[in-house]
Amino acid sequence: MTSSAPVSPHRSWLFALFLLAATFIAYYPAWHGGFLWDDDAPVPHGPSELRYYTLSGLNDIWFHQTYQALHQYYPLTYTLCWTEYHLWGLNTTGFHMMNILLHALNAILLWLVLRQLKVPGAWLAGAIFALHPVCVESAAWIAETKNTLSCFFYLCAILAALKFWLPEEAAATDSPSPGRLKDWKFFWLAYVLFLCALLSKTTTIPLPAVILLLVWWKRGKVVRADIYPALFFLGTAVGMGLITRYAEHHLGAHGQQFQISLVDRCLVAGRDFWFYLEKLFWPHPLILIYPRWKIAPSPPLAWLSLLAFIPVLFVLWLARHSWGRPVFVALAYFGGLLFVMLGFFNIYYFSYSFVADHFQYLACMGPLALACAGVALVFRGLGKAQLVLAPLLSAGLFVLLGTLTWQQCRQFANDETLWRTTLVRNPDAYVAHANLGDILMGQGQLNAALEQYQESLALHTDTKIYHNLGNAYLQLGKPNEAYACFQKVLEINPDDAIAYTDLGNLFLKLGQLDTALEYFQKGLKIEPNLMPMAWYNLGNVYRQKGQLDLAIQCWLKAVTIEPDFAPAHNNLGNAFSLKGQMAEAVQHWRSALAWQPDLESAQGNLAWVLATSPQASLRNGAEAVQLAERADELTGGRDPLALRALAAACAENGDFPDAVAAAQHAVQDAMLQGNKQLAADIQGQLKFYQNNQPFRDTTK
């Protein structure tokens, strides 16, 4: 690859702005996309996830296992998303804009790296990377912020590393003296940036090898002075790699479907390599979940992908002193960055497919740079004609790629669109059927959800899908079918704690408390510290059996495991209220509302105590009014208990006319519901308000 001509700073800024603008325009359909599939890993967005966004949650991201036990250890990515939450909350547009911005910056950085390496057509490679549809999966999917962020630090680290291993004076000569011009501040800068890349996503592990590959390309050899500093990088990479390997195993990357022989792994790797190269130069169709190949070494064609490397490497070796070297460097870079994803290591995603577009986000830079360098050299050979042809052909290519990217972004509009599009392109994607079933069940379309779960199970046996199918049957009022699903899970895995808790929920719903108790206890014996919902429901069983103290113990265990478990706090508030321990009750109701502000039962109960407690230290009329008004609003103004609390709160606040009106309304609603006892109680309280007196609840 010959040197490229120097570019003026003014033109550089203009081109950088062009890349930014073109990227954001091409990705416009993704600007307002919703949360998808596993976006809850970097951005938890359930109603009880507020604790994650506190300083305690940030500490948990970096140093604790209660959150990271369920996810990969990518703390810098999660910290970025944690920070974004504090900038724009759960508005997905902000998260998408940040991810697209990172992708655009990566395109600019790629251009700068290639320009520093004096690769012809560096600008073209940067633009194609920005607009190539194979990058959409990384830039339009919030969960893949780990890809774009790690790439940002990775490319910055390469820029710094080139200043250390290949300073401009050394790279400009044919036979430099290795180590002669090393500047150690760039070494440490490169190392810090590399560490940031690893903490964003560990697919950047090959960076030390990439550096030495570039040194070999430019100098024709690698000496000890080059290798020793790279070993420091390598040691860090190995350490982070071991953490990732442990996490993948913990996430489920083990078992029968991962029992793949070394021969089969090599066959997978060979096929993967050429698959990714094909998608780079012919990006159609692009599918979120590609078909999972059935690898068998017996058919002769299965070996073709591996055997193809022999003539390629032979030709490149013969041409190693001329054009073969840059081609080898590009392909070696491509294979090296893909190596971790080629099937030699167990990755949980391989249970769905052996390939994914986002796996080649970093790797695709090598072939793109090679192709663009070749195009640039062809343009140079055209003489003055390149002044017309180069802009026209480049503009046409940019429009084509931008259009393809625009179209590809549209499938990331929301979860349902994503999975329906995936199933059109790959009807055998069992996980797409299962996830679409989850969406339909959340929408209340239970029969449609059942169909999707059954389609999924026809393609692949999965205990999680049996769990969901059983729960769908349970919601449809088909306990026998639900029971069969949960028992099927136990046939597959007798130690499946969730199956026991599912059975506990089933018998709890049927009112068979002793049987429910037995199943909950079996599940919690297997997993005592990972299932707060099971402890919560076990507490509900004890509450229905009249064993309030045991119920309290279970709910306390639930909030110990998951401190932001609002319903458990609410039940604790109710339980302590029944025991007359009003200070403890108030504490737990406040905790419930801290994590789930619109939990109307906690609002009403807390408002009642703040308005009616005989203890002056607990009463707060103004706050009680706010809580009761919100509870009344959430219940549509037709809940006699919320209205009762509102009446008491108004009276405590000195607003007796409103207290009388609310109490009278509460009596009417109680009578309409046939609750004569509640109506009589409120009528007794109404007399206090008519006499301009607040009510005091002395029953506890």
Read off the pLDDT of residues 36-63 as tens digits, 9 standing for 90 and up: 998 988 898 776 577 788 888 888 889 8
Rounded Cα distance, 568 and 537, in Å: 9
Q: Which of 290-299, 308-317, 404-413 has the highest mean pLDDT?
A: 404-413
Q: Residue holding tokens 């010959």?
A: 2
What pLDDT is attached to residue 421? 97
pLDDT band for position 66 (50/70/90)?
low
User: Using a CB cutoff of 8 Å and minimum separation of 24, what contacts does 230-236 make?
Assistant: 232/191, 233/190, 233/191, 233/194, 233/207, 233/208, 234/208, 236/191, 236/194, 236/195, 236/198
Enumerate residues 6+ apart whose C-beta is below 8 A from 440.
446, 448, 449, 452
Amino acid 141: pLDDT? 96
What number is the average pLDDT over the span 570-587?
94
Q: Tell me how far the alpha carbon of residue 282 is from its chain's centroid.
A: 28
Sign of CA dihedral 44, 49, 55, 61: negative
pLDDT at 173 exceeding the cut of 70: no
Same domain, 576 and 602: no
Per-residue confidence (pLDDT) for residue 3, from 0 to 100: 43
CATH of the domain at 561: 1.25.40.10
Per-residue confidence band for 326, with pLDDT thresholds at 50, 70 and 90: very high
pLDDT value, residue 541: 96
* pLDDT, position 67: 47
Burial of 452 (0-12, 13-18, 19+ CB in 10 A): buried
Q: When comparing pLDDT for 418 and 321, which is higher?
A: 418
Are residues 499 and 546 located together in one domain of the fold? yes
97 neighbors 91 (Cβ within 8 angstroms): no
pLDDT averaged over the chain? 91
**Backbone phi, then psi, for 183, in 5-degree steps?**
-115, 110
Say if residue 69 is in the same domain as residue 206.
yes
Residue 88: the pLDDT is: 94
Residue 601 contacts residue 569 (beta carbons within 8 Å): no
Maximum mean pLDDT: which of 5-9, 50-54, 93-97: 93-97
Residue 94 sits in the same domain as residue 48: yes
DSSP secondary structure, 579-616, as one string: TT-HHHHHHHHHHHHHH-TT-HHHHHHHHHHHHH-S-T
Is the pLDDT confidence value at 170 over 70?
no
- Residue 485 is assigned to a structural domain of this protein: no
| pLDDT over 70, % of the chain | 95
Tokens in use for 55? 């300083």
Q: Are residues 231 and 134 in the same domain?
A: yes
Position 354 in a domain:
no
Q: Give the whole-angstrom CA distance, residue 108 versus residue 430.
A: 38
Q: With cut-offs at 50, 70 and 90, classify the pLDDT of residue 298.
A: low
| Structural domain containing residue 690 | 598-700
Residue where a domain stops, chosen among 541, 556, 582: 582
Backbone angle region of 692, left / alpha / beta, with phi > 0 → left and psi within -120 to 50 → alpha: left
Q: Which residues contact 180 (CB under 8 A, 6 or more apart)?
A: 170
Task: Say yes or no to pLDDT of 567 above 90.
Answer: yes
- Best-predicted range by mean pLDDT among 2-11, 316-325, 395-404, 521-530? 395-404
Domain boundary among 518, 547, 582: 582
Same domain, 67 and 127: yes
In a domain, residue 219? The reply is: yes
pLDDT of 639 above 70: yes
Q: Is residue 416 part of a domain?
A: no
Domain presence at residue 317:
no
pLDDT recorded at residue 213: 96
Q: In this structure, are 87 and 138 located in the same domain?
A: yes
| Cα 181-185-191 angle, rounded to 5 deg | 110
Please check the confidence at residue 179 and state whether its pLDDT lies above 60: no
Q: Which two tokens stand for residue 46?
A: 């359930």
Q: For the chain, what is the largest distance between any 2 Cα atoms, rounded to a whole number of angstroms?
A: 104
CATH number at residue 631: 1.25.40
At 322 the three-state DSSP class reads: coil
pLDDT tens-place string over residues 21-32: 999 999 999 999
Residue where one domain finishes, among candidates 520, 552, 582: 582
State residue 8's pLDDT score: 66
- pLDDT beyond 50 at 508: yes
**Could you tell me if 20 and 148 lie in one domain?**
yes
Residues 576 and 603 in one domain: no
Examine residue 478 and state whether it is found in any structural domain, yes or no: no
pLDDT-based confidence at residue 472 (cuts at 50, 70, 90): very high
Report the alpha-carbon distance of residue 340 to residue 336 in Å, rounded.
8
Taking alpha carbons only, the member of 347, 342, 357, 343 closest to residue 141 is 357
- Write out the two tokens for 293: 């190949």
Q: What does the pLDDT look like over 383-401, one tens digit per residue?
A: 787 878 888 999 999 999 9
Query: Residues 517, 389: one domain?
Result: no
Which whole number is the average pLDDT over 283-303? Answer: 85
How many whole angstroms separate alpha carbon 602 and alpha carbon 591? 10
Domain count, the chain: 3
Tell me if residue 26 falls in helix, strand or coil.
helix
AA identity, residue 532: P
Mean pLDDT of 89-101: 96
Burial class (CB in 10 A: 0-12, 13-18, 19+), 293: middle
CA quadruple 358, 360, 361, 364: dihedral sign: negative
How far is CA 603 from its chain centroid? 32
- Are 539 and 635 in a shared domain? no
Q: Is residue 267 part of a domain?
A: no
Whether 471 is in a domain gets the answer: no
- 556 contacts: CB under 8 Å, gap ≥ 6: 572
**Are 629 and 577 members of one domain?**
no
| C-alpha closest to that of 696 among 640, 631, 638, 621 | 621
Q: Is residue 380 pLDDT above 90, yes or no?
A: no
pLDDT (tens digit per residue) in 144-164: 999 999 999 999 999 999 999
| Chain segment 229-258, per-residue pLDDT in tens | 999 999 999 999 998 888 887 777 777 778
- Computed on alpha carbons and rounded to an integer, the radius of gyration of the chain in Å comes to 31
- pTM of this prediction? 0.87
H and E: helices and strands count for the chain: 34, 0
Question: Which pLDDT score is estimated for 174?
Answer: 42
